[in-house]
Amino acid sequence: MEVIPLINQKGGVGKTTSVINIAAVLAALSYRVLIIDMDMQGNLSHGIKEKSNNAHNIFHVLSGQISLEQAIHRTYLPNIHIIPSSFNLATLEIQDLTLLKRHLENVQDRYHYVLIDCPPSLGAPMILSIVASTKILIPSQCEYFAVKGLVNLLNLLKRVERQVGKPMNIAGVLPTMFDPRSRIMRDILNKLKQGLDIHVFETCIPRSTRVVDSNSYGQPIVLMDTNCPASQGYLLFVKEFLNT
């Protein structure tokens, strides 16, 4: 079972949209996927329709009230289950950095992939997700402030590595909201590929207003509009990811 948190300290880079659509593509390929909303804003929980009336969420799990299995909700999408978020994550205090990792070990035979939507800030939810990871995916826009934040994020990962005593496996950077007509974006993308010590995926997710529509309807863009450039981007990305 691969546990893949999508992390970035900058908000608005497409983490939630990427979790939803990567999960949908993997599910269409017959992989069983669990998605976890670790962001107290709960956008992932609202961006994909649930099928159960289960009231439990990830905070109940991490605060020791229930098992992880009890917080799993079915969705309307075959092969995809979800554990929703809670505003109470803001109050979460942890003593054991391996807490989420240990909970996930109990469902390792049920899922091929666990995708975690992390908040855009350093805190318990992000650290727990990083420690639980088998691979880390970093969605990022090709813009100046996003790239500057990447350097800080990599420094953060190094600190976590020292704290837990093991190296983090970074799958790479996924360029999002990309406009190939923008010379600045093209230049920044090239700088990313040349200036970072981590992998930058060749596939870029194009910017598309249709993505906003799909999130409003609680449907992945890869299912709502297969001809949308963003849909094609996620399809190509998953193929590239699976081949790396």
The CATH number assigned to the domain holding 87 equals 3.40.50.300
- Residue 115 resides in a domain: yes
- Residue 191 resides in a domain: no
Residue ranges of alpha helices (H) inside 8-137 are 15-28, 43-47, 58-62, 99-104, 124-132
Burial of 139 (0-12, 13-18, 19+ CB in 10 A): buried
For 52, other C-beta atoms within 10 Å of its C-beta total 12
- Residue at token pair 């983490």: 15
What pLDDT, on the 0 to 100 scale, is given for residue 191?
Answer: 84
- Residue 101 resides in a domain: yes
- Residue 126 resides in a domain: yes
Q: Using alpha carbons, select from 4, 72, 85 the residue that is nearest to residue 38.
A: 85
Are the CB atoms for 199 and 244 separated by under 8 Å?
A: yes
What pLDDT, on the 0 to 100 scale, is given for residue 150?
Answer: 83
What pLDDT, on the 0 to 100 scale, is given for residue 84?
Answer: 95
- Residue 152 resides in a domain: no
Q: Which domain holds residue 215?
A: 2-140+208-242
- Residue 41 resides in a domain: yes
What pLDDT, on the 0 to 100 scale, is given for residue 200?
Answer: 94
Q: How many domains does the chain have?
A: 1
- Residue 87 resides in a domain: yes
What pLDDT, on the 0 to 100 scale, is given for residue 71?
Answer: 96
Confidence (pTM)? 0.94
- Residue 92 resides in a domain: yes
Residues of the chain scoring pLDDT < 50: none
